[in-house]
Amino acid sequence: MQEQASEGAVRNGDLSPERMRVGMVLLVAFALLTCLAGLEGGPPMGDHECINAQSARETVQSGDWLVPTLNGAPWVRKTPLGIWFIAGASYLVDDLSAALRVTQYSARLPSALAGLATALVVCRLGSMLYGRRSGLVAGFITAGSLGMIVYARNAQADMLLTLMTTAAYACFWGGAMAEQPNRGHMARFYVAFALAMMAKAPLPLMTVGVPLAVFWFVTRPVVRWSHSWQSRSAPPRLTEPWHTESWHRGLKVLWIVPGVVVFLLLAGSWPVYVWRHVDGVLGLWREEYLNRFTGDMTERSKPAWYYIPFVFGLTAPYLLSIPEALGAVFLPRYREHRKGLAYAFTWAVVGTILISASAFKRPHYLLSMVPAYCLLLAPVVDRLFFGAAGGPARYLRAACAVLSLGIAAAVIVGGVYVRRLFPGFLVTYALAGGIAGLVWMSACWAYAKGWRMASFAQLNVGVLVLVLVVWPGLRHVPVNVVGDALAVSLRDHGILPPAEMVWVDVRPDASLEFYWGYSNQRLMDERELARLRPSRRTVSPELLRAGANAIEERLRRTPKSYLILSAGYYDLLREQTDIPARQECRVTGLTPDPKTDLVVITAAEGSRPPASSPATQPESQPASLPTTLDAE
């Protein structure tokens, strides 16, 4: 049956198996360059990347893989798949005799390989949805999209999550939507779904579980009814509820009972183990997941439309086709691909709506929906570059001329922006932007001439220019402003690694430890913080008293500790307690608000702080004076 379908696809103008193999070789080469080229260079890892890298480094040093640590304390706020992959990569590529295992390269390597694999899985899924040629186009769009390029070079777990999410959707389609249900594919679906949860729980429940349920119970019956109505081959059966057929077929093909058992074993074993061995973790998870969704994690909630610009940004340079891609499932010209488009549409739109409902939003939360948008783009881009030409030639030439002018304007505007914010990067930007802009303008000219395959190739060459020139040029762009400024100030005042730095009311900057060698500690364990504070927007009197007592205890220790706190909190501490301390240094200018300056204090020479309690505290303090909050 599959061979017959393939032969039919070839007869309808799709790629032959031989051409598909050539295309796959080109796709692998392209994805290797976009995801892995220059991985050992580029900008330093940001704070959140350093958290995973430092935790993986401690995993390698301690050998304890079940309960990862950060600064010696259990790091169980998030599921550990990303940390495990980084630690495993270190065994493969780092110097085994080095004092500090886990380098920047080994920390980013798992994400890079996941980006490569994601492009190949999207190609496979696109081939199942639309045919070989559109599947290959989907792979190129994915490998060349800004979202994949950026996060394939990021040590956070989002690229691994994206790979497992994409694999889950590919396995579900192969197992449940084929004419002959395939239990092997369904078994792999539950494994991929569980691994997605281990990468970044509980996000896959919203980006995999709910969209697939909507597809099965709503989208799929609607598409079947639409096909029946349009073909008139059989009258639509409106008397039978849609959910009846969906439940009956679901029980038959979805392998629900054994699949759920497999899912729970793989996704639930680690949380259960941590719950039994780490005290207070349930309160921590409540704060991390529930408060993140409801908005108790931050003062200001992002608007509901927050992710719309990022849909366009993360799919660049194909962003101009996004409107048609989102409407393709409803357009007659894409009728033959409607079932596959409806699948990708449900994944993309339902997933985006669900994460938009959360009060706490970040751009990388959208990443696991980017393959869905790339799959929606595939038939549109395929038609534009490889399908039957459409529209009067003069309109195409006019559109290409306008687009060329837009590219030139975008390069100039980008140069003004870079010159203002990152003047040291201007030369690199001018070189990369100039070359890529010329290549893309040439692609517009080739398209206007009717050389559409050459235009598609030049579009992707422009992507490679940006990757190969811009990424190495970002090496000196300031990323860890706080960590670097603090490290320089500490060294200037004679405080050298491995001095113990205790962070009081701001979250430890992991780059200070990973790159500079200082020992980062929290004033209070995050599980204790979760117990003492009802939300992150207010600070209770109990928490302030506990913080003051912890500060006093730290100042009593030998060897001495250095405490890092905001200037605003330091002023409050001096006003309402009698704890003697000496200011060692102050880092200013981080923000326009002087209360956010960082102050480093230690015990006053020749003094021993008395056992005192802080003065009476107000009922609550504003969020501008938080206690050890996470920015992520």
**Mean pLDDT for all residues in the chain:** 86
User: Which pLDDT band holds residue 131 (cuts at 50, 70, 90)?
Assistant: very high
Residue with more model confidence, 78 or 575: 78
Q: What is the pLDDT of residues 500-513, one digit of tens each?
A: 999 998 889 999 99
- In this structure, of 74-83, 124-133, 188-197, 400-409, the range with the lowest mean pLDDT score is 400-409
Q: For residue 30, what pLDDT is reported?
A: 97
User: Which two structure tokens, joined as six digits, stand for 193?
Assistant: 């779904």
Q: For residue 124, what pLDDT is reported?
A: 96
Distances (CA, A) of 531 to 284, 294, 535, 620: 8, 18, 10, 16
d(CA 383, CA 371): 19
Asked whether residue 284 carries a pLDDT value surpassing 50, the answer given is: yes
d(CA 54, CA 514): 6
Q: For residue 387, what pLDDT is reported?
A: 83
User: Which pLDDT band holds residue 627 (cuts at 50, 70, 90)?
Assistant: very low
Cis peptide before 317 (omega within 30 of 0): yes
CB atoms within 10 A of CB 330: 13
- Residue 175 contacts residue 158 (beta carbons within 8 Å): no
Q: For residue 610, what pLDDT is reported?
A: 44
- Residue 595, classified by CB atoms within 10 Å of its CB into exposed (0-12), middle (13-18) or buried (19+), is middle
Q: For residue 507, what pLDDT is reported?
A: 85
- Residue 580 contacts residue 604 (beta carbons within 8 Å): yes
d(CA 129, CA 339): 8
- In this structure, of 65-79, 284-298, 467-481, 592-606, the range with the lowest mean pLDDT score is 284-298
d(CA 289, CA 434): 44
- Residue 311 contacts residue 366 (beta carbons within 8 Å): yes
Specify the amino acid at residue 295.
G
Asked whether residue 26 carries a pLDDT value surpassing 70, the answer given is: yes
User: Which pLDDT band holds residue 300 (cuts at 50, 70, 90)?
Assistant: low
Indicate if the alpha-carbon torsion angle 310, 130, 138, 409 is positive or negative.
Answer: negative
Asked whether residue 626 carries a pLDDT value surpassing 50, the answer given is: no
Give the distance, in angstroms, between the CA of residue 183 and the centroid of all CA atoms in the same chain.
30
What is the SS3 assignment for 54? helix
Count how many residues are written for the chain: 632
Q: What is the pLDDT of residues 303-349, one digit of tens each?
A: 889 999 999 999 999 999 999 999 999 999 999 999 999 999 999 99
Asked whether residue 7 carries a pLDDT value surpassing 70, the answer given is: no
Distances (CA, A) of 221 to 232, 239, 243, 354: 16, 13, 8, 22
Task: Give residues with Cβ within 8 angstroms of 385, minimum separation 6.
Answer: 137, 447, 452, 453, 455, 456
Asked whether residue 617 carries a pLDDT value surpassing 50, the answer given is: no
Specify the amino acid at residue 182.
N
Q: From 199, 30, 35, select the one nearest 113 (Cα to Cα).
A: 35
Q: For residue 563, what pLDDT is reported?
A: 93
Q: For residue 619, what pLDDT is reported?
A: 40
Q: For residue 112, what pLDDT is reported?
A: 97
User: Which two structure tokens, joined as six digits, stand for 68?
Assistant: 């990862």
CA angle 370, 374, 375 (to 5 degrees): 120
d(CA 294, CA 423): 40
User: Which pLDDT band holds residue 539 (cuts at 50, 70, 90)?
Assistant: low
- Residue 510 contacts residue 527 (beta carbons within 8 Å): no
- Residue 602 contacts residue 581 (beta carbons within 8 Å): yes
- Residue 42 contacts residue 475 (beta carbons within 8 Å): yes
User: Which pLDDT band holds residue 190 (cuts at 50, 70, 90)?
Assistant: very high
User: Percent of the chain having pLDDT more than 70?
Assistant: 88
User: Which two structure tokens, joined as six digits, stand for 118?
Assistant: 């994601």
Task: Give residues with Cβ within 8 angstroms of 307, minimum separation 6.
Answer: 352, 355, 356, 361, 363, 365, 366
Q: From 574, 577, 582, 578, select the one nearest 603 (Cα to Cα).
A: 582
- Residue 282 contacts residue 428 (beta carbons within 8 Å): no
Distances (CA, A) of 128 to 71, 93, 220, 371, 449: 46, 36, 16, 15, 32
CB atoms within 10 A of CB 52: 31
Task: Give residues with Cβ within 8 angstroms of 22, minimum separation 6.
Answer: none
Asked whether residue 618 carries a pLDDT value surpassing 70, the answer given is: no
User: Which pLDDT band holds residue 6 (cuts at 50, 70, 90)?
Assistant: very low
Question: DSSP string spanning 423-461?
Answer: GGGHHHHHHHHHHHHHHHHHHHHHHHTT-HHHHHHHHHH
- In this structure, of 529-533, 546-550, 580-584, the range with the lowest mean pLDDT score is 529-533
Q: What is the pLDDT of residues 342-385, one digit of tens each?
A: 999 999 999 999 999 988 899 999 999 999 999 999 999 999 99
User: Which pLDDT band holds residue 528 (cuts at 50, 70, 90)?
Assistant: confident
Phi-psi region of 43 (alpha: psi -120 to 50; beta: other; left: phi over 0): beta
CB atoms within 10 A of CB 367: 25
Q: For residue 349, what pLDDT is reported?
A: 97
Name the DSSP letter for residue 287.
Answer: I
